[in-house]
Amino acid sequence: MLEARNLSAGYPGREVLAGVSLAVRPGRVLALLGPNGCGKSTLLRTLAGLLPPRGGEVLLDGRPLGDYAPRQAAQKIACLPQSRAAPNITARRLVLHGRFPYLSYPRRYGREDYEAVDRALEAADARDCADRPLPELSGGQRQKVYLALALAQETETILMDEPTAYLDIRHQLEVLALVRRLAGEGRAAALAIHDLCLALTAADDVAVLGEGRLLALGGPEEIYQSKILERVMGVRLGRAGGPEGPRYFCELRSEG
């Protein structure tokens, strides 16, 4: 389990979040929601060990994350960042980078590494991009390739920053179905996402960030009933029942 305890996160000279306590639990999907600039990406980067905490602590399986060597941490936590470069290499070569935590020096890939890459490309619906250079791919295709890169690490915990960006609605739903499948396998998943309706449908737990802190933490229905998202995001949320459970929708909140 990956856990934040009274965590403060930010950058030199600038604190973005303070006093955040939450957990990314095995078998569950945590959605991070909030307006632009509220600290979702900063929190994910701190949970992944890419930024040092400014206060409080991050625990991985009950131990401070800083106690783990970088290679050990990378075998347990994969992070899909929001900003991604497009080096002039093939998609398959990029996804192979996800196997780095398991390689000794000099890096020599084995059969198990290539098999893991093939599984990741298939799971991310990116197999048809495998032998194409990244600069030739569309934004959506690159997104799927970087998702495959995170999957190739085969970690217990996966953190995703806007994993549905650049994707059409069908592929957005496929990505969220994949995240649900990972949770069904016992993995822990957290994602920062702008689409409130998709998040409330797909997540087990929802954390609402704003005003430099964690404003609310609970299940989707609890968060919906609290109306905290309406206040923070400036929209009106609605809900409709269905055979597979509630479906949420949002619209602009009328003034006055």
What span, in angstroms and rounded, lies between the C-alpha atoms of 122 and 118? Answer: 6
Written as tens digits, the pLDDT of the chain (256 aa) is: 999 999 999 999 999 999 999 999 999 999 999 999 999 999 999 999 999 999 999 999 999 999 999 999 999 999 998 877 788 999 999 999 999 999 987 789 999 999 999 999 999 999 999 999 999 999 889 999 999 999 999 999 999 999 998 889 999 999 999 999 999 999 999 999 999 999 999 999 999 999 999 999 999 999 999 999 999 999 999 988 767 778 888 888 765 5
Q: What is the pLDDT of residue 249?
A: 87
What span, in angstroms and rounded, lies between the C-alpha atoms of 233 and 252? Answer: 10
**DSSP notation for the chain:** -EEEEEEEEEETTEEEEEEEEEEE-TT-EEEEE-STTSSHHHHHHHHTTSS--SEEEEEETTEEGGGS-HHHHHTTEEEE-SS----SSBHHHHHHGGGGGGPPSS----HHHHHHHHHHHHHTT-GGGTTSBGGGS-HHHHHHHHHHHHHHT--SEEEEESTTTT--HHHHHHHHHHHHHHHHTT-EEEEE-S-HHHHHHH-SEEEEEETTEEEEEE-HHHHHHHTHHHHHH-EEEEEE--TTS-EEEEEEPPP-
Q: What is the pLDDT of residue 247?
A: 84
Q: Which tokens is 3 given? A: 């856990």
pTM more than 0.85: yes
Q: Is the peptide bond before 243 cis (omega within 30 degrees of 0)?
A: no
Q: What is the pLDDT of residue 5?
A: 98
Q: What is the pLDDT of residue 241?
A: 78
What span, in angstroms and rounded, lies between the C-alpha atoms of 37 and 33? Answer: 11
Q: What is the pLDDT of residue 255?
A: 59
Distances (CA, A) of 1 to 42, 58, 155, 157, 237: 19, 10, 12, 8, 31
Q: What is the pLDDT of residue 254?
A: 66
Are 117 and 154 in contact, with CB atoms under 8 Å apart? no
Q: What is the pLDDT of residue 69?
A: 95
Strand order in the sheet with 63-64: 14-24, 2-11, 55-60, 63-64
| Degrees to nearest 5, angle at CA 105 with 104 and 108 | 75
Q: How many CB atoms lie within 10 A of CB 112?
A: 11
